[in-house]
Amino acid sequence: MAKTRKTYVPPRVEVLSSLAMQKHRTVDISAADSGFDDVGDVAALLAEFGSPLYIVSEKSLRSLFRNFRDTFTAPSVETVVAYSYKTNYLPAVCSILHQEGAWAEVVSGMEYDLARSLGVPGERIIFNGPYKRSDELARAIADDALINVDSFDELDLLTAVADSLKRSARMGLRINFQHGRQSWTKFGFNADSGDATEALHRVKKAGRTLRFEALHNHSGTFQVNPDIYARSAQVLAGVAKKARELGLSPHIADFGGGYPSSNRLKPAFEPAGGVAAGQHLAPFAEAVIGGIAKSRKAFGDRPTVVLEPGRAVVDAAMKLACSVVARKSISGQGDAVIVDAGVNLLPTAYWYDHGVDAASGSDLDAAIGSKPVAVFGPLCMQIDVLRERAILPPMSIGSPLVVSNVGAYCLTQSMQFIQPRPAVVLVGPKGPELIRRGETREDIFALDKVPTRLKFRITGR
Ligand SMILES: Cc1ncc(COP(=O)(O)O)c(C=O)c1O
């Protein structure tokens, strides 16, 4: 009988932290805080609402918001937290944050309309972004929204629209400055080149047509170093002083968003020196409020400080639950599972090491046998990898898994690609409530038309 030889698979050495395998819980080796734990039985939610499923925790969302607002509150300033809609504009999510007192920070007419339809008054909307159409500007002017102007062309357009309406536009200027290689200089007026000063002159010249109130800066996203906000305060104060020399009276310093969430960047995206574990918001608040305090009344006696957080208030409030659909042992690579949620639902998997855990309710004893497993999505693409290496107990077909910290940019940047997008459930004081139903094939193709001449028929060829 011919001897069958087994292919040699070299042993792998895995670095596991001491927390990787606890007796009662399976902990992902490299994901930071895995977010909330108050949604109850994930397997039961999947059974009721289908798999995959986005799950929002109302309690967690409210507490993240309150914590953010309280951290940035100080007696010397009026604090306004304007939630960045694009981060996650599920209407139920925005509504919860508005109940907590958030203003709306919007960057398109579509987002502006959503905020108004949810009952947000115009005066509590901040309209940002590099492209605002004249009809959108007209509506924002009429509603007294705060419009942060991005370019000289937009300044001219705003002035013309306000003139034609015979109304004054409540406005600010977005400011940028150079800070290393990845400065967000696409947006606004540069503080160092003279553009910001030129914009102030043009605002002054527009007279009563423009009601100049604010200077805005947003220097990037997932900022891990608070120093950038201290620098931002310095730059905004410098421009505010110039404005005062011209007789203008800015009273709002808007620091944009960019505050980190408890997600973890993949090593390739980590800034030099790494990311401090468990970053707290306090140093960011200190940089902002302390920076404004140093500005010697450039923004008046009691400045309004606006913060536009996105990820810091929603990321940890949402999870993506999914189910194992196949298991593999890949030669030379180790174990893998395929789940029913792909990177089309988790675009942030390209730059974060999201926590991927067995859902609560799995067999705890099985956790003892946990080991590194690659977690792939269901898309017919090699890049569909949710996590290269998660620590998981033995999986069966149908085992539920939970991906954490998916509240920011996952849903708004998700796409129907090969698979439709799933339902979203809100777990709140009344138990689980459906806040978005899953898409169907009909939803996806509802906009399409096939010209009659292209109707399929068998031609015999
Ligand atoms: C102007 C502005 N404000 C706020 C945000 C929210 O940023 P983050 O989610 O990083 O807090 C962004 C995101 O890019 C932005 O461009």
- pLDDT tens for 405-429 read 999 999 999 999 999 999 999 999 9
Domain that holds residue 129: 57-268+280-314
Does residue 360 register a pLDDT over 90? Answer: no
Single-letter residue type at 428: G
Same domain, 143 and 193: yes
What would the mean pLDDT of 220-234 be, rounded to a whole number? Answer: 93
Does residue 30 register a pLDDT over 70? Answer: no
pLDDT of residue 250: 98
pLDDT of residue 290: 95
pLDDT of residue 6: 57
Same domain, 47 and 103: no
Please tell me if the CB atom of residue 408 comes closer than 6 angstroms to any atom of ligand 1: yes
pLDDT of residue 280: 82
Q: Measured in angstroms, how far is the CA atom of residue 212 from the centroid of ligand 1?
A: 22
Query: Given the DSSP bridges, would you call strands 385-392 and 371-376 parallel, antiparallel or unpaired?
Result: antiparallel
What would the mean pLDDT of 254-278 be, rounded to a whole number? Answer: 81
Grade residue 267 by pLDDT with cuts at 50, 70 and 90: confident
Q: Is residue 8 part of a domain?
A: no
b (16+ CB within 10 A) / e for 242-266: ebbeeebebbbbbbbbbbbbbbbbe
Q: Is 157 helix (H, G, I), strand (E, B) or coil?
A: helix
What would the mean pLDDT of 390-415 be, rounded to a whole number? Answer: 96
Please tell me if the CB atom of residue 221 comes closer than 6 angstroms to any atom of ligand 1: yes
Q: Is residue 228 part of a domain?
A: yes
Altogether, the residues listed in the chain come to a count of 461
Q: Is residue 275 part of a domain?
A: no
- Total domain count, the chain: 2
Same domain, 298 and 390: no
How far is Cα 123 from Cα 145, in angstroms, rounded to an integer? 5
List Cα–Cα distances, 315 to 161, 320, 337, 457, in angstroms.
Answer: 37, 11, 25, 50
Q: Measured in angstroms, how far is the CA atom of residue 436 from the centroid of ligand 1?
A: 24
How far is Cα 263 from Cα 359, in angstroms, rounded to an integer? 18
Q: Is residue 36 part of a domain?
A: no
Choose the residue to mutate in 64, 84, 126, 279 for probing ligand 1, maximizing ligand atoms within 8 Å of C-beta: 84
Please tell me if the CB atom of residue 407 comes closer than 6 angstroms to any atom of ligand 1: no
Closest C-alpha residue for ligand 1 atom 16? 218
User: Which CATH number belongs to the domain containing residue 341 in this structure?
Assistant: 2.40.37.10
pLDDT of residue 97: 98
Q: Is residue 295 part of a domain?
A: yes
Q: Is residue 80 part of a domain?
A: yes
Does residue 362 register a pLDDT over 90? Answer: no
- Count the Cβ atoms, other than its own, within 10 Å of residue 116: 18
| Residue 365, Cβ density class (10 Å: 0-12 exposed, 13-18 middle, ≥19 buried) | exposed
Same domain, 120 and 200: yes
User: Which CATH number belongs to the domain containing residue 292 in this structure?
Assistant: 3.20.20.10
Q: Measured in angstroms, how far is the CA atom of residue 218 from the centroid of ligand 1?
A: 7
Please tell me if the CB atom of residue 216 comes closer than 6 angstroms to any atom of ligand 1: no
pLDDT of residue 314: 98
Grade residue 180 by pLDDT with cuts at 50, 70 and 90: confident
pLDDT of residue 37: 72
- pTM reported for the whole predicted model: 0.91
Rg of the chain taking only CA atoms, in angstroms: 25
Give the list of residues 6+ apart from residue 326 with CB closer than 8 angstroms, or none: 337, 338, 397
Same domain, 136 and 254: yes
Nearest Cα residue to 134 out of 100, 169, 102, 104: 169
Grade residue 95 by pLDDT with cuts at 50, 70 and 90: very high
Which ligand 1 atom minimizes the distance to the CA of 309? 11
Same domain, 255 and 385: no
Grade residue 365 by pLDDT with cuts at 50, 70 and 90: very low
Does residue 200 register a pLDDT over 80? Answer: yes
Tokens of 263: 């997600």
Which ligand 1 atom minimizes the distance to the CA of 256? 3
Q: Is residue 226 part of a domain?
A: yes
- For 428-453, the pLDDT digits (tens) are 999 999 999 999 999 999 999 999 99
Does residue 23 register a pLDDT over 90? Answer: no
List Cα–Cα distances, 123 to 143, 164, 321, 371, 443, in angstroms.
Answer: 7, 21, 38, 53, 35
Please tell me if the CB atom of residue 309 comes closer than 6 angstroms to any atom of ligand 1: yes
